[in-house]
């Protein structure tokens, strides 16, 4: 085994957390390497990790295509636009998504080159607080690399269910679900969580009859429950067959179909579908990440134990992104942690504010929120007030023919400080940025009420929701 130079920092993993961290380390003058083993469908190296290649970016790209197809089929006539003989070539749609992913992956490579980051295509194993064994993806000789600091950012992967074994032909995981080249006539999805709903949005928009089997009796427990109820109403109206309290117990591939067994309060049921997607959660990629003698401390679910500075139990070793339990599995959380850790290593003062971390569910319409939910605040006994404004009362929503959804502001009843902002509606992922900034600056609802918003825009709903606190809304009766 050969030995290479000592780096200031080695980052393991080139997903959003890892590549952002590597870039920031290099910007701060640290000699940096990044080790990653991802290969695309052609077996070629691509940076960006699961988030780019098999997660959010891939999913959003396909959803944009699916929305176009759906609009062409269903929404254009009333605009006076007639299109005939509309058809969809799913394989070409997947190719388009892959082209975009390749281009974005290539941009990360260029950024690495620009910042003189040593990019190593290999699988890494942490041997101790300073050393990593690398096994090159091309099968060449393993070697040991050494660094003063190590940042673990290996991300997460889909959880497997022993009773619904993924074959990626009939029973597929969330990665393969973004690479299906034909349209399943009837599709079932295990799990109506974030990923299940995002995939349902894509395939139902393309025309699949989509059944979501969710073990929980309640729907979407993470967002504000008023938003979840609204989401349930909108999704079912769109044709999602949402079966709550439905726990899948078995799934078997037949000759051309999948047989799915599930149980609910009424007993056992079976379903025959063309494809089954397993979207039952993700697990951190820590299996084989560290040699046992490295003594990297993990919790019982495989998450790396870290303190509030993302430091593991090993001096100089950090874990960021999906690997730690400091916040939800979100790409932008990982990116911020990557920068936060890089700055700590460089001796800079750095902070991270998990309280103003936005969450987004990329369905159509989207769900986005920041801060606390109404149910959490009530459980804490906080005195709160609520301002709500529906998008259907804004001119812009009518102009774009997407009037569903609402903005909900929650403020402290006495201090007026904003405590939570919750949105369901088109472009919620973009709109939430205004609320994040407001909360970052400790804004009050009065600040929103006094801020002039352009008319006609969707963002006016913020202004009006704040006016609702004082029964001063202009476009709905108070
Ligand atoms: P999830 O935990 O959100 O949802 C999985 C669901 O599957 C749960 O509701 C669970 O009850 C259900 N389930 C599990 N076993 C089942 C069974 N046998 N039968 C029926 N239902 C069953 O997990 P996910 O949707 O896979 O997402 C994983 C993580 O990735 C989450 O933390 C999520 O926040 C993150 N993520 C976020 C985004 C985003 O921000 N847009 C996108 C993708 C993933």
CB-ligand 1 contact for 164 (6 Å cutoff): no
The answer to whether the peptide bond before residue 115 is cis (omega within 30 degrees of 0) is no
Do the Cβ atoms of 152 and 12 come closer than 8 Å?
A: yes
CB-ligand 1 contact for 245 (6 Å cutoff): no
What pLDDT shows up at residue 473?
95
> In b/e form, how buried is each residue of 58-83, taking b as 16+ CB within 10 angstroms?
bbbbbbebbbebbeeeeeeeeeeeee
Measured CA to CA in angstroms, residue 471 lies from 389, 414, 447 at distances of 11, 17, 16
CA 399 / ligand 1 centre spacing (Å) = 34
Q: Which residue's C-alpha comes closest to atom 35 of ligand 1?
A: 329
At 360, phi and psi to the nearest 5? -135, 140
Q: For 400-412, what is each residue's pLDDT tens digit?
A: 999 999 999 999 9
Measured CA to CA in angstroms, residue 141 lies from 127, 365, 387 at distances of 17, 50, 62
Q: For 158-182, what is each residue's pLDDT tens digit?
A: 999 999 999 999 999 999 999 999 9
pLDDT higher than threshold 80 for residue 4: no
Q: Which residue's C-alpha comes closest to atom 9 of ligand 1?
A: 193
Q: For 399-444, what is each residue's pLDDT tens digit?
A: 999 999 999 999 999 999 999 999 999 999 999 999 999 999 999 9
What pLDDT shows up at residue 3?
55
Rounded to two decimals, what is the model's pTM? 0.95
CA 220 / ligand 1 centre spacing (Å) = 10
CB-ligand 1 contact for 191 (6 Å cutoff): yes
Give CA–CA dist 396/435, Å, rounded: 19
CA 232 / ligand 1 centre spacing (Å) = 16
What pLDDT shows up at residue 133?
97
Q: Which residue's C-alpha comes closest to atom 30 of ligand 1?
A: 329
Sign of CA dihedral 87, 90, 92, 98: positive
CA 469 / ligand 1 centre spacing (Å) = 35
Domains of the chain and CATH, by start: 2-157+283-354 (3.50.50.60), 171-280 (3.50.50.60), 365-470 (3.30.390.30)
Give CA–CA dist 430/386, Å, rounded: 22
Q: For 213-225, what is each residue's pLDDT tens digit?
A: 999 999 999 999 9
The 3-state DSSP class for residue 112 equals helix
CB-ligand 1 contact for 329 (6 Å cutoff): yes
């Amino acid at each position: 085994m050969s030995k290479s130079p000592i780096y200031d920092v080695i980052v393991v993993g080139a997903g959003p957390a890892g590549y952002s961290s590597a870039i920031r380390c290099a910007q701060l003058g640290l000699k940096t390497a990044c080790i990653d083993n991802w290969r695309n469908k052609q077996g070629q190296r691509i940076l960006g990790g699961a988030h780019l290649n098999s997660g959010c970016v891939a999913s959003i790209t396909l959803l944009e295509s699916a929305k176009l197809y759906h609009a062409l089929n269903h929404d254009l006539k009333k605009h006076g636009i007639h299109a005939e003989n509309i058809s969809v070539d799913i394989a070409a749609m997947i190719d388009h998504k892959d082209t975009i992913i390749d281009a974005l992956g290539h941009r990360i490579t260029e950024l690495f080159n620009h910042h003189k980051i040593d990019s190593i295509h290999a699988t890494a194993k942490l041997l101790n607080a300073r050393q990593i064994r690398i096994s090159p993806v091309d099968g060449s000789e393993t070697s040991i690399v050494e660094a003063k600091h190590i940042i673990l950012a290996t991300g997460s992967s889909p959880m497997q269910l022993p009773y619904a074994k993924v074959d990626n032909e009939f029973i597929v995981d969330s990665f393969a679900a973004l690479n299906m080249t034909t349209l399943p006539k009837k599709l079932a999805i295990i799990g109506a969580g974030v990923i299940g709903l995002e995939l349902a949005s894509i395939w139902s928009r393309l025309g699949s009859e989509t059944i979501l089997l969710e073990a929980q009796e309640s729907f979407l427990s993470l967002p504000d429950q008023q938003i979840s109820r609204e989401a349930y109403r909108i999704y079912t109206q769109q044709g999602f067959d949402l079966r709550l309290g439905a726990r899948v117990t078995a799934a078997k591939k037949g000759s051309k179909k999948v047989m799915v067994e599930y149980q609910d309060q009424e007993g056992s049921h079976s379903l025959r579908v063309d494809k089954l997607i397993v979207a039952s959660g993700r697990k951190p990629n820590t299996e084989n990440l560290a040699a046992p003698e490295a003594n990297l401390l993990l919790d019982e679910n495989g998450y790396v134990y870290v303190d509030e500075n993302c430091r593991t139990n090993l001096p100089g070793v950090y874990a960021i992104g999906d690997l730690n339990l400091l916040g939800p599995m979100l790409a932008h959380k990982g990116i911020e942690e990557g920068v936060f850790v890089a700055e700590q290593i460089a001796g800079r003062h750095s902070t991270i504010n998990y309280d103003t971390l936005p969450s987004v569910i990329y369905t159509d319409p989207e769900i986005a929120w920041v801060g606390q939910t109404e149910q959490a605040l009530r459980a804490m006994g906080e005195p709160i007030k609520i301002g709500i404004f529906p998008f259907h009362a804004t001119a812009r929503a009518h102009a774009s023919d997407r009037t569903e959804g609402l903005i909900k502001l929650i403020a402290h009843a006495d201090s007026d400080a904003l405590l939570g902002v919750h949105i369901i509606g088109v472009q919620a992922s973009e709109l939430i940025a205004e609320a994040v900034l407001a909360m970052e600056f400790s804004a009050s609802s009065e600040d929103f009420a006094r801020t002039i918003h352009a008319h006609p825009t969707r963002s006016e709903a913020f202004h009006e929701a704040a006016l609702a606190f004082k029964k001063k809304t202009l476009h709905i009766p108070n």
